[in-house]
Structure 1
């Protein structure tokens, strides 16, 4: 199969397109013929070698990146009964130890594969799984009642723009802290009750105007000094959801309680996610789609300003 691989960790120039063996299918696995793959900021971190050994498995080369995929089931293991060859699916993958989705085929445990809802285009679903499940897990963790106020910090990014939509689906009032005029416009289009440019505007003042008695909660997708200042607008009794992997970490503890978490990628979680999609409550904003042979350019684009997601078109 064709795949973009690393023969060593490093910069975008280390990515190369070539032919490698198709991954083997285990008893509980699904082999996906990949059509689209999401590109995450963490892909660059992984490309540079910062995840080497982090998953308890030694890194081996050629190394295939890619945590999200959408496509068609090409084969299933003997223990798999939820999927059949030809099913349209999307998946949350871990590239270690068997390779990711920057390839024509990817193998995934069936537990982390979901049927593709008819309302979700495959080009969007390819960039969906990890960010959407992280957003959903954060909103679930906060457990807010309809009408409660939620600040989504980093609301025009991959996780954030999906969190805005999931929160609105739950009946929450959402203050979106976005990046740039295009980020503010995106979050408004996706239903945020109020949007503010976190780079140029006073977020604390905007939060105070939005929720004079204090915000009920916040979901944070990017750290830093502006984030910490903004969290002062969450009431003392409020809650803050902070996914593992969001940096920089807090330097001082806010008054509200902070809960760190990982995205749930179980079949139960994707069932909940699919219910939101089927209700028309979710779309993935793909800022730019790159062909597989332009993966280096895609990684260079990760360094630039963009909103939503970047993605690869595999087939």
Structure 2
């Protein structure tokens, strides 16, 4: 089958022919998908650089959707023909404290297998093996084009909104609000009745933040101190109740703390090599900084239903065919499009809006 793989760090992705997964080789909890649509995540650039310790060669993309064409012997939740949003994690043990603990902890299982695009091939290929226990059925009426970016960008920023644990009417800040995660986070927060203060450092990011529905948008290029003063003014002198940082800019985490009220929470989602925060931004005001990964499959299903109910839009740039992917990666690295880069792998399959 055709695949787009990372073969060497810091070199362009390569289009290659690799073995097609065989139904007879599936594990008991596996699904075999014919990939319909996959999309590019900003963290794919980290995989390309080697910062996330992936084993090469490996097929890129951890945002995949497709149709079930075969399943393992233990799979009862899904049927042949179901439309699926693949999960990133694979092979949780089911026995550890995380697997048997809080819903939002389960994907932190220390005994799980490799994630997509790390040692296990990702979705930039024609057929994909995924774990049925981590997958979600795509709701009726939702296209593959909408679902694919939600497989990482959506589930990641959605967990940030959940961890903020705010009540309707409270203020939430989003640093990096005009990016692929940020513009979804704005819409998720608004759907939960929150007021949103967006912060971005690019003209198109500021514009997209406004289009996504942020109540106010501040320009990070004015500097942390000015942004913090404006945030205090907007929120009646208190600051936002919680902030999600989805920007890997060096000063982003510090800015996130600066706009957050005393005793508030900053949720660090972005993956810079280091997170740097001056002690004065969090110690003296008791700001709690919490790291966050993706959400659980149950939480992801809730997110998908929210997207349908509130008609949440993904800002997408649509490309067609696996051969286009190296170009899309280069465009992302140069900031040449806003929102998400979405690649149609199977033209016929991508047109199916509801399941068979």
Same fold by TM (over 0.5)? yes
1:57-136 pair list within 5 angstroms: 59-61=55-57, 63-93=58-88, 94-136=116-158
Change (3 A) 1:244 1:153: closer
Structure 1 distance, partners of 2:52, 2:324, is: 23
2:241 aligns with: 216
SS in 1 for 2:47: helix
2:105 aligns with: none
Structure 1 distance, partners of 2:274, 2:311, is: 31
In the superposition, the TM-score normalised over structure 1's length comes to 0.90
Aligned counterpart in structure 2 of residue 225 of structure 1, from 224, 227, 251:
251
The answer to which of 283-292 and 121-130 deviates more is 283-292
Q: Contact 1:166/1:281 (CA < 8 Å) preserved in 2?
A: no
Change (3 A) 1:142 1:174: same
- Structure 1: which 5+ residue stretches go unaligned? 54-58
Aligned counterpart in structure 1 of residue 271 of structure 2, from 245, 254, 258:
245
Structure 2 distance, partners of 1:159, 1:139, is: 11
Change (3 A) 1:296 1:252: same
Q: Contact 2:256/2:266 (CA < 8 Å) preserved in 1?
A: no
Q: Contact 1:177/1:198 (CA < 8 Å) preserved in 2?
A: yes
In the superposition, the TM-score normalised over structure 2's length comes to 0.80
1:28 lines up with 2:29 in the alignment:
yes
1:307 lines up with 2:332 in the alignment:
no
Change (3 A) 1:121 1:243: same
2:51 aligns with: 50
1:158-307 pair list within 5 angstroms: 158-200=180-222, 202-212=226-236, 213-222=238-247, 223-225=249-251, 227-243=253-269, 245-246=271-272, 248-253=274-279, 254=282, 255=285, 256-264=287-295, 266-289=296-319, 291-305=321-335, 306-307=337-338
1:25-45 Cα shifts (integer Å, max 9, x gaps): 221011111121111122122
Q: Contact 1:73/1:89 (CA < 8 Å) preserved in 2?
A: yes
Structure 2 distance, partners of 1:225, 1:6, is: 30
SS in 1 for 2:187: helix
Q: CA RMSD in A?
A: 2.0
1:259-288 Cα shifts (integer Å, max 9, x gaps): 112112x32112211221231252221135
1:4 aligns with: 4
Q: Contact 1:290/1:298 (CA < 8 Å) preserved in 2?
A: no
Instruction: Tell me which protein shows more strand as a share of its residues.
Output: 1
State the shift of 1:90 in Å: 1.3
